[in-house]
């Protein structure tokens, strides 16, 4: 027991550390997790989770994969793919079929596998699951169209990889073994339909009970989590590997019911999924044996991996999207990005043992082949997606963008200054009259309530790293901060300081729900807009070796307001009393709201 607890503690610590290290180094998280898992397992021998956890190993991974798939499918709202349904439909139907057939042929003729093993592994390799796709999409900041295609493919196709592998095995058993009847194949197909029905029923039960207040707020997340596990286990008991289909359908059902508490469930599941993805990658890579790693470098395996990367995947996408509205550059990126992940590893390990027991001796290389493809695609696609998407013009600007919630003279003028520095900006407001400032200034704007559900589909927030709530209403600013804190984090979510005389009486509001205070404790909405009316100007000051930051501070007037510092790297540091004092370095640009100079000033 003590040994199991120690291993679980080490797995969790390494998983979270991997995510933190990836954030600090700006490397793909899945790459960091894989490397740390290999170092902790086969390289240093600190642990072997499969051996240490024993019978708990596979159930833990299976349930974790089910939860991750549910979290991914919870984002599959059909409104997201308006105008994109044809290419998405083709890629999740024709694409997997082509990938299965071509991958199986390659496994037989190139990797030298028997037809039985080749068709099983060909089915497994059609998956590009959310465990690897979703982190890459967040990292690369892809434009909405291509991001939607990759996300839908990753989530929808994931369970079908396992199902196709099961179908291949059952069908081959029927063809080659007299004891297996065709009824077994029919039973598998029926079990898959039953799993989908279970997913729909469980999804509707959750949606119906939540909308009618049958479940209190504090129990909603636990109820969802337990229901997901129940749907997965019940379906898996009927037929192995159908649980993944059940939880995927369940998530899609809830997502398209448009229930009001959907965002709370998403935030909870995202936090759970990040932890589970980290833990599972560490567990799987740390459990690999050294001979498995060395066998990856066999010529047949390397040739198969190269064929999957550079021929089969691009060909599959280009053929399946013929006649769709996907541009050539979009098809090129989608045809390259196809990292395999947890589902491929877990299903492959399961079928390797099953096939070996059934007498297919060549199945012993399935684990090596799978890990070789997983690790190769994780490395190749993890490091190339950002570079390639920028080259093809399919990623957002590298500079951090800013959303201004609330249109007024100050926010419009400030956004105009940032826009002049090529920083993506947008102003949102529910009032058309207040947006007049933004319209006249030519600043990008959105006439929509930022807190409405429709806003999620009206505005792609990917380009915007910071959100500034700058309305005149303290309570509204605080509500916006509280709503978007799970997505942005407090360090990138700002709001104006409370106005003591505004009548909101929010001085006792917990800092846990409010955003970071902007600029200074006494620089309120009223003061900022009064200064604009009094002729204060936005001043941009470049810090150099000759003109230091201290020189700049000495030259500032007592009424000047320091707004933001644009670092030489392009990052933004907003001034705030809640942060440590900013120190400018040569190359940094300081933007301030400065008192106008007297007209008789010679300068």
Residue 601 has pLDDT above 60, yes or no: no
pLDDT band for position 102 (cuts 50, 70, 90): very high
Give the lowest-confidence range in 112-126, 172-186, 215-229, 280-294: 172-186
Per-residue model confidence (pLDDT) at position 262: 62
Residue 454 has pLDDT above 60, yes or no: no
Residue 181 has pLDDT above 70, yes or no: no
| Segment 43-71 mean pLDDT | 81
Max avg pLDDT among 96-105, 170-179, 349-358: 96-105
Per-residue model confidence (pLDDT) at position 602: 43
How is residue 2 written in tokens? 């003590």
Within 10 A of 364 (CB to CB), how many other CB atoms are there? 15
Max avg pLDDT among 338-342, 394-398, 415-419, 478-482: 415-419
Max avg pLDDT among 236-250, 414-428, 504-518: 414-428
Residue 134 has pLDDT above 70, yes or no: no
Residue 105 has pLDDT above 90, yes or no: yes
Tokens 């320091």 -> residue: 562
How is residue 16 written in tokens? 């979270």
Within 10 A of 49 (CB to CB), how many other CB atoms are there? 27
User: Could you tell me which residue, 81 or 229, shows the higher pLDDT?
Assistant: 229
Per-residue model confidence (pLDDT) at position 534: 86
Instruction: Quick: pLDDT tens for 6-36.
Output: 888 898 899 888 888 877 776 767 678 878 8
Instruction: Quick: pLDDT tens for 191-200.
Output: 888 988 999 9
Taking the C-alpha atoms of residue 178 and residue 197, their distance in angstroms, rounded to an integer, is: 32
Its pTM surpasses 0.75: no
Per-residue model confidence (pLDDT) at position 109: 92
Taking the C-alpha atoms of residue 75 and residue 138, their distance in angstroms, rounded to an integer, is: 14
* Paired strand residues for 142: 395
Residue 316 has pLDDT above 90, yes or no: yes
- Listing DSSP states for 36-67 in one string gives HHHIIIIIT-S--HHHHHGGGHHHHHHHHHHH
Per-residue model confidence (pLDDT) at position 131: 63
Mean pLDDT of the chain: 81
Is the distance from CB of 235 to CB of 192 less than 8 angstroms? no
Q: What percent of the chain has pLDDT over 70?
A: 84
Per-residue model confidence (pLDDT) at position 197: 93
Residue ranges of domains in the chain, CATH in brackets: 55-391 (1.20.1530.20), 401-594 (3.40.50.720)
Per-residue model confidence (pLDDT) at position 81: 62
Nearest to 335 by CA among 347, 348, 322, 344: 322
Cα distances (angstroms) measured from residue 387 to each of 394, 398, 516, 520: 10, 11, 33, 39
Is the distance from CB of 128 to CB of 154 less than 8 angstroms? yes
User: Could you tell me which residue, 76 or 164, shows the higher pLDDT?
Assistant: 164
| Segment 128-134 mean pLDDT | 69
How is residue 486 written in tokens? 């799970």
Q: What is the 3-state secondary structure (H, E, C) of 305-353?
A: HHHHHHHHHHHHHHHHCCCCCCCHHHHHHHHHCCCCCHHHHHHHHHHHH
DSSP state of 445: E
pLDDT band for position 395 (cuts 50, 70, 90): confident
Instruction: Quick: pLDDT tens for 157-170.
Output: 776 776 777 777 76
Instruction: Quick: pLDDT tens for 235-293.
Output: 988 877 688 788 888 888 888 887 766 665 655 666 677 777 788 778 877 887 777 77
Residue 418 has pLDDT above 50, yes or no: yes
Max avg pLDDT among 317-321, 360-364, 509-513, 529-533: 317-321
């Amino acid at each position: 027991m003590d040994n199991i607890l120690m291993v679980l503690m080490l797995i969790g610590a390494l998983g979270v550390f991997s995510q933190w290290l990836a954030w600090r180094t700006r490397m793909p998280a899945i790459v960091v997790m894989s490397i740390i898992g290999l170092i902790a397992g086969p390289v240093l021998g600190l642990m072997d989770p499969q051996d240490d956890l024993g019978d708990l190993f596979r159930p833990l991974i299976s349930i974790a994969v089910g939860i991750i798939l549910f979290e991914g499918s919870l984002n599959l709202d059909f409104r997201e793919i308006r105008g994109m349904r044809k290419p998405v439909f083709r890629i999740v139907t024709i694409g997997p079929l082509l990938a299965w057939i071509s991958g199986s042929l390659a496994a037989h003729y190139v990797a030298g596998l028997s037809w039985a093993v080749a068709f099983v592994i060909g089915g497994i390799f059609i998956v590009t699951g959310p465990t690897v796709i979703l982190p890459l999409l967040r990292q690369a900041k892809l434009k909405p169209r291509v991001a939607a295609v990759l996300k839908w493919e990753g989530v929808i196709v994931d369970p079908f990889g396992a199902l196709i592998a099961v179908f291949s095995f059952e069908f081959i058993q029927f063809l080659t073994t007299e004891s297996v009847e065709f009824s077994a194949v029919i039973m598998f197909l029926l079990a898959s339909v039953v799993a989908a029905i279970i997913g729909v029923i469980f999804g509707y039960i959750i949606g119906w009970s939540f909308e009618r207040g049958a479940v209190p707020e504090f129990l909603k997340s636990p109820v969802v989590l337990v229901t997901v596990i129940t749907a997965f286990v019940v379906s898996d008991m009927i037929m192995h590997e159908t649980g993944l289909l059940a939880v995927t359908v369940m998530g899609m059902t809830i997502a398209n019911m448009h229930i009001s508490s959907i965002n709370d469930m998403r935030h909870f599941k995202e936090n759970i999924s990040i932890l589970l993805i980290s833990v599972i990658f560490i567990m799987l890579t740390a459990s690999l044996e050294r001979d498995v790693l060395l066998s990856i470098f066999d010529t047949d395996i390397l040739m198969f991996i190269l064929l999957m990367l550079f021929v089969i995947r691009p060909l599959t996408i280009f053929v399946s999207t013929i006649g769709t509205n996907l541009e050539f550059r979009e098809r090129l990126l989608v045809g390259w990005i196809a990292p395999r992940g947890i589902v491929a590893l877990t299903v492959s390990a399961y079928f390797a043992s099953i096939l070996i027991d059934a007498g297919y001796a060549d199945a012993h290389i399935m684990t090596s082949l799978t890990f070789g493809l997983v690790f190769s695609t994780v490395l190749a696609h993890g490091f190339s997606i950002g570079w390639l998407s920028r080259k093809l013009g399919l990623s957002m600007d590298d500079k951090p963008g800013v959303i201004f919630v609330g249109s007024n003279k100050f926010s419009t003028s400030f956004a105009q200054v940032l826009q002049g520095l090529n920083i993506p900006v947008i102003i949102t407001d529910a009032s058309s009259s207040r947006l007049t400032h933004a319209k006249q200034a030519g600043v990008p704007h959105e006439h929509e309530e930022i807190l409405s559900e429709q806003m999620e589909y009206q505005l792609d927030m990917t380009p915007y790293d910071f959100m500034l709530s700058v309305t005149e209403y303290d309570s509204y600013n605080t509500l916006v901060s509280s709503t978007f804190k799970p997505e942005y984090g407090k360090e990138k979510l700002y709001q104006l300081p409370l106005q003591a005389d505004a009548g909101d009486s929010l001085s006792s509001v917990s800092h846990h729900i409010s955003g970071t205070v902007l600029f200074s404790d006494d620089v309120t909405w009223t003061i900022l807009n009064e200064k604009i009316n009094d002729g204060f100007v936005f001043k941009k000051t470049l810090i150099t070796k000759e003109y230091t930051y201290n020189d700049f501070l000495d030259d500032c007037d007592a009424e000047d307001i320091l707004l933001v510092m644009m670092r030489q790297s392009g990052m933004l540091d907003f001034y705030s009393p809640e942060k440590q004092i900013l120190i400018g370095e040569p190359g940094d640009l300081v933007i301030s709201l400065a008192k106008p100079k007297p007209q008789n000033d010679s300068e």
